[in-house]
A and B are shown apart, each in its own frame.
Chain A
Amino acid sequence: MTLNRRQFFKLCAAGAATSAISALGLMSEKAYAAVREFKLLRAKETRNNCPYCSVGCGLLMYSQGSGGKNSEHAIFHIEGDADHPVNRGALCPKGAGLVDYVNSPHRLQYPEYRAPGSNKWQRISWEEAFKRIGRLMKDDRDANLIEKNADGVTVNRWLTTGMMTSSGMANESGIATQKFARSLGLVAIDTIARN
């Protein structure tokens, strides 16, 4: 069963007896006049998880488009998801500030480089960034990899570099991250859940 309240309004305006309001003679013409004074706002409602620690609290996020069918949506409000079995609607201070993280003007949007001794960041390309990271990792690993321990057993430990990973990953990305890091010999691996 569907009730079409638009048709209900039209029928009432025409004086047709379709509801108690009009049938009892209590429909007012003023009911239609007041409607236009308000601005109709629209927000997309999306369920997601907080990525900032491994607890994985549930979120409800609200966004609005800037106009146009395929326009990008901007998030303007985030709250804890009351239905979520983990956080039951509550958020920690970091989670409660999520919408400001998302919209922060200080968000890193491209790779930046600060030379040793310099106090200035300079923008570099992704190509340069990947090359530089790869070069430094390789040099450091070549210089410091411990291949065998005192007893001559192969250990392949790389202790001079550590890795900070995301905590909001699926099992599959977790496995891929683990394989990547351990195959290099990295021992110090941590997630941003700890900060």
Chain B
Amino acid sequence: MSNASEIPVMPIDPSPLALKPLLAAKPAEVYAHRAKRLERLAEDSPLADYLKLCSVLVGVQAKLAVTDMGPAPEFNADQMQPMSVGFTQDNRYWLAQLQSLLSDALPLVPANVAEIIRELMQQAPEQLADWGNCLRRGKFSDVPAQYSLFIWAAMSLYWSHWAPALISRMDANAVKQESLCPVCGSHPVASMVREEPREGLRYLHCSLCETEWHYVRAHCTACDQSEAMELWSFDDHQAAVRIETCDDCKGYTKMLFVSKSPQLDAVADDLASLALDAQLSEQGYSATTVNPLLLAHEADGSV
């Protein structure tokens, strides 16, 4: 008799309903959709000015996503998280994307933001590369808050372009339930409950490379416990935007039900539903996710 470890647990399944562990992004489409969604959400948001700025920036990302991305990064598809910062910290090709992004955004933004963009354009490449790596390591407090938005947008543009090429060479069945992006090791933005390949599956959306990976429902995406999961929402138990909390680790992730509202975008709708975050924070829960448009400095406990 063979060892248990030799028995294949996941047979090759030709069914269209078969679970896909990794969904590669089409960056140009993702950014175009997000820019439009941000513009729509800005119409009746108390954060309208900021959402409009984000919409402009993401619109530039959409435009640049179809242009030449320069040299490809080197990676080994057999490693875990092949694009994670540990393997790619010396990659500076994204700096070219940053300059394009800044110069394209410059004429489209308000004067005070344009001033900040000009400052950022004058920073030394070493400094920018260092800030980029700090952000990817989650050390948001080490980067001036007014720059982080633009730096992340440029890195996202570069890495989301190469992620699908890498995914096509990765063994998707080797991807297990992971808290961080199996491609680039970044935090998720939110949980997307999708209709494809079958309704009701949860995919975590990567904050950097826009890849989505499958994660079992009603399990904590941060600590993998399932004993004390709760869903919170405003006014309607079946709302399209809800929050899933775990009482074991006191963490939470936003749940976006695409089947209920097809136009939902992970980044835009997470940002536009901060009121729900504020309520859950008051209940003692903390976000386990990162929003690229909201790279807040880590709490230092002084407030």
Contact = CB atoms under 8 A, between A and B. Distances in A.
A47 B296 contact: no
Contacts of B295: 19-20
B298 A1 contact: yes
B106 to A, nearest CB: 14
Interface residues of B, number: 58
Nearest to A30: B46
B30 interface: no
B216 interface: yes
A41 B229 CA distance: 14
Given A3-B290, A3-B299, A20-B149, A88 B198 contact: yes
Given A40-B232, A42-B232, A31 B274 contact: yes
Query: Which of B48, B146, B217 has most A Cβ within 10 Å?
Result: B217
Interface string A59-78: 01010100000000000110
Contacts of B231: 42-43, 45, 62
Contact of B216 (A23, A35, A41, A83): A83
B281 interface: yes
Given A3-B298, A33-B46, A88-B198, A76 B217 contact: no
A24 interface: yes
Interface in B175-233: 187, 198-202, 216-218, 226, 229-233
B89 interface: no
Contact of A5 (B138, B230, B296): B296
A19 B294 contact: yes
Nearest to B112: A25
A50 to B, nearest CB: 15
Nearest to B48: A28
Contact of A45 (B146, B229, B277, B286): B229
Contact of B199 (A18, A28, A89): A89
B165 interface: no
Query: Which of A24, A31, A43, A77 has most B Cβ within 10 Å?
Result: A24
A5 B287 contact: yes
B238 A26 contact: no
B279 A89 contact: no
Contact of A82 (B116, B198, B303): B198
Interface string B259-303: 000000000000000110111011000111010011111110001
B237 interface: yes
B286 A3 contact: yes
A82 B275 contact: no
B50 interface: yes
A10 interface: yes
Contact of B237 (A8, A11, A41, A60): A41
B198 A89 contact: yes
A25 B236 CA distance: 34
A54 B16 CA distance: 25
B287 A3 contact: yes
Contacts of B281: 4-7, 9
Contacts of A195: none
B253 interface: no
Contacts of A41: 232-237
B236 to A, nearest CB: 7
Interface of A: 1-11, 14, 17-28, 30-35, 38-47, 60, 62, 64, 76-77, 79-83, 88-89
Interface of B: 17, 19, 46-50, 53, 112-113, 116, 138, 144-146, 148-149, 187, 198-202, 216-218, 226, 229-238, 244, 251, 274-275, 277-279, 281-282, 286-288, 290, 293-299, 303
